[in-house]
Amino acid sequence: MKLGIIAAMDIELELLKEKITGAQTRTVSGIDFVSGTLEGHDVVAAVCGIGKVFAAMCAQTMITVFGVDRVVNTGVAGTLTDRLGILDVAVSSDAVQHDFDITSMGDPAGRIPGLDLIHIPADGDMSRLLSECAERTGRRVCVGTIASGDVFVADSALKSRIASAFGAIACEMEGASIAQVCYVNQVPFVILRTISDGAGENNEFETFAPAAAEQAIDIVLDFVRRV
């Protein structure tokens, strides 16, 4: 197994990269890819940058250039459900792009032509193991749809629309594009998100993002140890 680990921001990956032994860094398309050994497994870790395009670039490079055969996307997210509060954990059963919209052409919201999918399925085994690791933190864990889009959701009306339209439990800006790349390349993936904010107007992100990111890293490390 060669595992790719992708995060959008430095705070979501720095503590993990420090634990990679024999680390070698290669820069491709402006993204630094750190290869080495983590908990006895070959890994490639990268901070892709914020948004779906950077995330897709990173995922495809990991697969094509570095040959990863599993991908974990880790980081923080806003909650879309009252079942998840700050520092609780969302694990993907699937992912959707909530801002992909060609409804004017007769398609349902979120449907991606060429895939003929709205919900891109995550790997069931990876999702189950990651959920078990998350439960060891003592936080509440939900498995469900992760919604991604090129917007930082900080609006209660938008939050409600995404949750209602897609049945999603958390929202962020990268996971579903990574899911799409992995799906077309037949590479199993899973998304982990620790809740950093309520996806509303309270602006909690800056307060809780560092702790949420650190918790996500701890969960991923446990996952790699047990995979």
Q: Determine which one of 12, 123, 174, 214 is catalytic.
A: 12
Distance CA 148, CA 39 (A): 30
Q: Determine which one of 174, 197, 204, 222 is catalytic.
A: 197
Contact 76, 166 (CB under 8 A): no
In DSSP terms, 46 is beta-bridged to: 6, 33
Clarify whether 222 is annotated catalytic.
Answer: no
Distance CA 38, CA 17 (A): 9
DSSP string, 148-209: E-SS----HHHHHHHHHHH-EEEEESSHHHHHHHHHHTT--EEEEEEEEE-SSTT--HHHHH
Distance CA 160, CA 29 (A): 36
Known catalytic residues are 12, 197
